[in-house]
């Protein structure tokens, strides 16, 4: 089993924010792969389904913490403890200021780079989970970061965001086999 978590803020007013890129990614996976309906569990919205590869079907739980971005670790920890999973079975999609808009990287472990959602998850689970980082760019001034991430994507961003989300959904089954490099490569060849 795999838990794929998207980071974001639950209030509808945040739905189109850059900080909700993780929610957007798991919503796209749920839709493209025919996952079941979203329901409340673990202080999160969750839905279940299967990702199919040539090796077979792997059950996946998609999770959108409802604890707000900065407390995402609480919801994910509850799910990880319930299913008794290891960090290698966790993938977290989140926005990344340190990547240019539209860039995409996957890595296991590392620091939080100032991302409070990642800090929360690291405090709950340790640093060795898998991170799928969606580049949103940096506003250029540290004082402008909070308003920037809590602002909706610009219309021009749709030119890269929609193809990126489509590529993520198409490549998602590679995550079940731990083929993170192949997943990243396929997404970046969109």
Per-residue pLDDT tens digits for 78-128: 999 999 999 999 999 999 999 999 999 999 998 888 789 999 999 999 999
56 pLDDT band, cuts 50/70/90, is confident
Q: Is the pTM of this model over 0.85?
A: yes
**Residue 112 to residue 83: CA distance in whole angstroms:** 25
Mean pLDDT (whole number) for 23-34 = 97
Identify the band that residue 136 occupies on the pLDDT scale cut at 50, 70 and 90.
very high
Distance CA 32, CA 4 (A): 14
pLDDT band at 190 (very low <50, low <70, confident <90, very high): confident
What is the reported pLDDT for 128? Answer: 94
Is 19 among the residues known to form the active site?
Answer: yes
CA distance linking residue 180 with residue 175, whole number of Å: 6
Sequence spans of domains, the chain: 2-188
Select which of 19, 31, 138, 189 is catalytic.
Answer: 19
The 3-state secondary structure of 82-115 reads HHCCCHHHEEEEEEECCCCCCCEEEEECCCCCCC
The CATH code of the domain at 2-188 is: 3.40.50.1470
What tens digit of pLDDT does each residue of 158-167 get? Answer: 999 999 999 9
């Amino acid at each position: 089993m795999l838990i794929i978590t998207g980071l974001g803020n639950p209030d509808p007013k945040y739905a189109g924010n850059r900080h909700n890129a993780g929610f957007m990614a798991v919503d796209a996976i749920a839709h493209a792969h025919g996952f079941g309906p979203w329901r409340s569990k673990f202080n999160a919205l969750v839905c279940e389904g299967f990702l199919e590869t040539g090796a077979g079907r792997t059950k996946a739980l998609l999770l959108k913490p409802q604890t707000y971005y900065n407390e995402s670790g609480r919801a994910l920890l509850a799910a990880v403890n319930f299913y008794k999973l290891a960090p290698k079975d966790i993938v977290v999609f989140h926005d990344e200021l340190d990547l240019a808009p539209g860039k995409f990287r996957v890595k296991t472990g590392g620091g939080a780079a100032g991302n409070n959602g990642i800090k929360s998850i690291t405090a709950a689970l340790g640093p060795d989970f898998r991170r799928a980082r969606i580049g949103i760019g940096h506003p250029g001034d540290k004082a402008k970061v909070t308003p920037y991430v809590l602002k909706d994507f610009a219309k021009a961003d749709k030119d890269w965001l929609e193809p990126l989300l489509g590529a993520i959904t198409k490549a998602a089954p590679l995550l079940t086999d731990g083929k993170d490099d192949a997943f990243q490569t396929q997404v970046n060849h969109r």
